[in-house]
Structure 1
Amino acid sequence: MTSSTHPAPPAPDGWRTFVWLWSSQALSVLGSAVAGFAFNIYLTVTRFPLAEQKPQLALALSATALAWGLAATLSAPLAGTWTDRHDRRRIMLGADLLGAALTFSVLGLLLLPAAPLWALVLTAGLMGLVSTFHGSAFDASYTTLVPRERLPRANGMMQTIWSLAGLVGPALAALLIGVPALLRKSDALPVWLSGLQNGVPFAYAVDGLSFVLAAAVLSRLSVPSPQEVTDRSQPRSFREDMAFGWKFIGSRRPLLALLLTFAVANLCGSGLGVLEPLIAKFGLAADWQARGSSLTAALATLTVTQSVGGVLGGVFISVWGGLKHQRVLGVLVPMIVSGLALAAFGFSATVLGACAALLILGLTTPAMNAHSQSIWQSQVPPAMQGRVFSVRRLIAQFTSPLSTALAGLLAARYAGGSVAVAAGLLLAGVAAAQLFNPALRRVEDGPKVTAQGAD
């Protein structure tokens, strides 16, 4: 027998609680961006500085990135099930404290003359695991705090933070990394810092403190979990919970169509990280050389421009609040524009034109992500969001590593710009076709959800 589930309304002070939670997590996201950039500097400048160490450097970069990515992706179903079985505030608090401990552990490794690569890979994997558990609990907590009509605004705020971290993080990391060199020039370097080649450990200290601060703020907040999560009167099978997300999504064609559309978007867009340096080096070389610039300056300009677009797009969706009805249009229309912008980037022959295309690409991303998240949050009962969202993340993101690999393979044979054009047009075409998909257009008219599943 099933009984209808009527999710409890958000707490009266839920929006205020969310803003505090968002603010503290924003510092943590920024701290992680600082540490991530500093880690790459450590590997390239300190750990493997010699040209003949290129194979070791490539191994270290790929191994640590793969460890984080695989741990984060493969643990998603487990993290989602755990989220729907335990207090979500405690999960986030524990993840913040574990994140702080792991970050300070890496700091200690970086102070060694030569940090063991296996230890760096291990901590990277553990950080990916912790990040997934925290993200699962955080994503599933929105609807217990934020009224439905404010969900796009809340999601836009998070999109803003991710974009801002990508913009500010590297600059702040570069500033911290350069501190010992500046002190040496002024003969003000303390004895206890004399052994530091650069300030990479400072960046990890900032990241560790950001985790501690996030945990301190969270410890003072009340983040309710749905009664179905904390109720132990009707124990559920862990194995059945692990499979629940797959069944839930598989039985809802509109949500599955939306999810597969994003899988295509990630397939088309995730290779930009590979294509952008190649386009800057070869496709835009005539322009930046004619201006007396350099590849480094051109690539930095492209990266910063896209990040600025992401920040502006996030601020816009946060202030506007997004569509209240037919939110799927807030996904598909920006996705079409994003695909055309990616194609325009591939067509560009000047740095200015490429920047304009990337600015538009950055502007559209927060809108489609915020509206998509809002649809899922409104269609999945709060007590089920951990399990469903984890499977959603796994399906949507499995194409990202495939995209990166394909971009590298195709760019080795064809011009990077041509690959970007093809990917952009494919994305725009798929998104445009989905405008005429009646199932997807009805994604917000989902079936009635009961305590055990769908009626």
Structure 2
Amino acid sequence: MELKAVMTPGRPWAITHPLRAFFVTWIGQLLSLLGSRLSGFALGLAVYQESGSITQFAIYSSLVLLPNLLLSPFAGALADRWDRRRVMLLSDVGAGVNSLIVLLLVTWHDAAFWRSHPWLIYPPVILGAAFTTLRWPAYYAACTLLVPRQHLGRANALIDLAVGVAQVAAPVLAVALLARIGLGGILFIDLLSFLVSTGALLLVRFPAPVRRETDPARRDSLWEEMGLGWKFIRDRPGLMGLTAFTGVFNFVISMVPTLITPLVLSFADVSTLGLVQTTAGVGMLVGAVVASVWSGPRHLVASVLCAHLLSALALLVGCLRPSVPLIAVASSVFLFSIPPIQSRAWAIWQRKVAPELQGRVFAVRRMVTLAASPVASLLAGWLADRVFEPWLAVGGALAGTVGKLLGTGPGRGIAFLMGMLGVVCLGNVLAAWFNPRVRNLEDELSEPAPS
């Protein structure tokens, strides 16, 4: 049965043109992401300041991530069963209601109450993260139906641009707004952002893929569907190899931010660290803009590998000297490479996975991505403190060898670790290139019929 797509029936005022629907949705999600990042940063800062406990802050950070890991398969199955626009609506409405609950909790209780009861904020944090988890499989799967295949890389880059804008702008805005309107005001802004994104989704209509007669979603239970995404990837060696490549890539990009802060502070002050982070953030934004306007090489796999090679070189060069300009430029180049890698990799998945299966398959891919983050962050700190810093301390085990190239003293072990991550990136590129299933993925794995 040929796979076609049908437009979900809508009212006369609804935006049904696919590209227009994508851009309206993108604007709404951009504002929603910015509001969520604002409130998330401000709330985490408040938890730390009021409790005075790094443990409480670490628990808060983990609870934000945990629902994404546990619920991604369910979110993917739901995105394939339901209208993807409605799944995104459920995500925004649920997260918005949760923001209202947090706003009321913050308004009703003073700082002294939160110092003695910090755990009361955890249930709404978990609930909000659970609703947010529903968004991503549906968003990326809907993108395939709204954007022509030749422009999927650019559309994914726009999504990355929205994430980058939120990541760069939110901390700066949150610090400024906390002094003026307080945590309650920021939570109210977050609530307004959800209203805007919900309004955008109410205005648009997404095409809905017509299921094949053999589509498992017609007969399997929800639990069986949740395992289908993994089975789909496992049965295709090229996609399995690409998943492994992505897992290593995300492991590295999760370790680097953890290391940059102590590396810079080992020889510079906090204001210099802010300058380095801002420069790096600008690099990521420029990378997203470039990826959204330039289609890149015809072969997407080659484009992904070339961008990852650039990130490896940035890490190798950035570790050489304790120099602010050198580290700032290297950080900027490193983050510049991330949007092209992510957007082109997503385009491969969107082209090779049938639209009616994308929610489940994309959820597994996202779960692999997220699983690397907490492990990488914890391992980065342990390796830096217990292994690499002692090695390159004055008189350390590697002071007479590696120390002659990188120097010795505070921060040089961290620099050596970052250099080793550059070597890992090089190995990841070579492993993918010399794996014929990955290198020839675009030619060997057929694409589903267009929607």
TM-score tier after normalising by the smaller chain length: 0.7 to 0.9
Tell whether the 8 Å contact from 1:311 to 1:363 is kept in structure 2 after alignment: yes
> Closer, same or farther in 2 for the Cα pair 1:419/1:386, shift >3 Å?
same
Size of the alignment, in residue pairs?
A: 411
List per-residue Cα deviations over 1:138-177 (Å, max 9, x = no partner). 1110111111011011011111111111221122212211
What residue identity is the alignment partner of 1:30? L
The question of 1:65 aligning with 2:61 is answered: yes
Shift of 1:376: 0.3
Tell whether the 8 Å contact from 1:89 to 1:224 is kept in structure 2 after alignment: no
Tell whether the 8 Å contact from 1:7 to 1:382 is kept in structure 2 after alignment: no
The match for 1:42 is 46
- CA distance in 1: counterparts of 2:254 and 2:281, whole angstroms: 15
Greater mean alpha carbon deviation, residues 117-126 or residues 418-427: 117-126
The match for 2:342 is 369
What residue identity is the alignment partner of 2:356? A
The match for 2:299 is 326
The match for 1:250 is 234
The match for 1:6 is 3
Tell whether the 8 Å contact from 1:27 to 1:210 is kept in structure 2 after alignment: yes
Please show how residues 183-222 of structure 1 align to structure 2 within 5 Å.
199-222=182-205
- CA distance in 2: counterparts of 1:233 and 1:394, whole angstroms: 21
Look up the SS of the partner of 1:178 in the other structure.
helix
TM-score, scaled to structure 2 = 0.86
Q: 1:226 aligns with which of 209, 214, 217?
A: 209
List per-residue Cα deviations over 1:309-330 (Å, max 9, x = no partner). 010011111111344x310111
What residue identity is the alignment partner of 1:108? L
The match for 1:438 is 436
What residue identity is the alignment partner of 1:216? G
- CA distance in 1: counterparts of 2:342 and 2:446, whole angstroms: 25
Look up the SS of the partner of 2:443 in the other structure.
coil
- CA distance in 2: counterparts of 1:347 and 1:40, whole angstroms: 34
Please show how residues 62-101 of structure 1 align to structure 2 within 5 Å.
62-101=58-97
What residue identity is the alignment partner of 1:410? L
What residue identity is the alignment partner of 2:423? L
The match for 1:266 is 250
Look up the SS of the partner of 1:225 in the other structure.
strand
Shift of 1:348: 3.3
Structure 2: tracts of 5 or more residues without a match: 9-15, 389-412
Shift of 1:110: 2.0
Greater mean alpha carbon deviation, residues 366-375 or residues 157-166: 157-166
Shift of 1:25: 0.4
List per-residue Cα deviations over 1:64-122 (Å, max 9, x = no partner). 11112111111001111111111111111111111111112112222211233233111
- CA distance in 2: counterparts of 1:242 and 1:94, whole angstroms: 19
Tell whether the 8 Å contact from 1:91 to 1:137 is kept in structure 2 after alignment: yes
What residue identity is the alignment partner of 1:437? N
Shift of 1:450: 7.5
- CA distance in 2: counterparts of 1:217 and 1:69, whole angstroms: 26
List per-residue Cα deviations over 1:201-246 (Å, max 9, x = no partner). 1111111110111001111110122222999994332232111111
List per-residue Cα deviations over 1:168-213 (Å, max 9, x = no partner). 1122212211215xxxxxxxxxxxxxxxxxx121111111110111
Tell whether the 8 Å contact from 2:251 to 2:372 is kept in structure 1 after alignment: yes
- CA distance in 2: counterparts of 1:311 and 1:80, whole angstroms: 28
Look up the SS of the partner of 1:140 in the other structure.
helix
The match for 1:122 is 123
> Closer, same or farther in 2 for the Cα pair 1:19/1:427, shift >3 Å?
same
> Closer, same or farther in 2 for the Cα pair 1:233/1:88, shift >3 Å?
closer
Q: 1:278 aligns with which of 250, 258, 262?
A: 262
What residue identity is the alignment partner of 1:137? A
Shift of 1:397: 3.0
The match for 2:272 is 298
Look up the SS of the partner of 1:270 in the other structure.
helix
- CA distance in 1: counterparts of 2:82 and 2:350, whole angstroms: 19
The match for 1:194 is none
List per-residue Cα deviations over 1:11-30 (Å, max 9, x = no partner). 98211110110011000111
Q: C-alpha root-mean-square deviation of aligned residues, in Å?
A: 2.2
> Closer, same or farther in 2 for the Cα pair 1:378/1:9, shift >3 Å?
farther
> Closer, same or farther in 2 for the Cα pair 1:313/1:208, shift >3 Å?
same
Structure 1: tracts of 5 or more residues without a match: 181-198, 289-294
What residue identity is the alignment partner of 1:176? L
- CA distance in 1: counterparts of 2:123 and 2:441, whole angstroms: 41
TM-score, scaled to structure 1 = 0.86
Shift of 1:9: 8.5
Equivalent pairs: percent with the same residue?
30
> Closer, same or farther in 2 for the Cα pair 1:297/1:212, shift >3 Å?
same
Please show how residues 134-149 of structure 1 align to structure 2 within 5 Å.
134-149=135-150
Shift of 1:357: 0.0
The match for 1:33 is 37
The match for 1:196 is none
What residue identity is the alignment partner of 1:248? F
The match for 2:319 is 346
- CA distance in 2: counterparts of 1:441 and 1:158, whole angstroms: 26
- CA distance in 2: counterparts of 1:201 and 1:322, whole angstroms: 44
Shift of 1:448: 4.5
- CA distance in 2: counterparts of 1:81 and 1:44, whole angstroms: 36
- CA distance in 2: counterparts of 1:234 and 1:174, whole angstroms: 49
What residue identity is the alignment partner of 1:32? S
- CA distance in 1: counterparts of 2:125 and 2:212, whole angstroms: 30
- CA distance in 2: counterparts of 1:76 and 1:16, whole angstroms: 28
- CA distance in 2: counterparts of 1:274 and 1:60, whole angstroms: 18
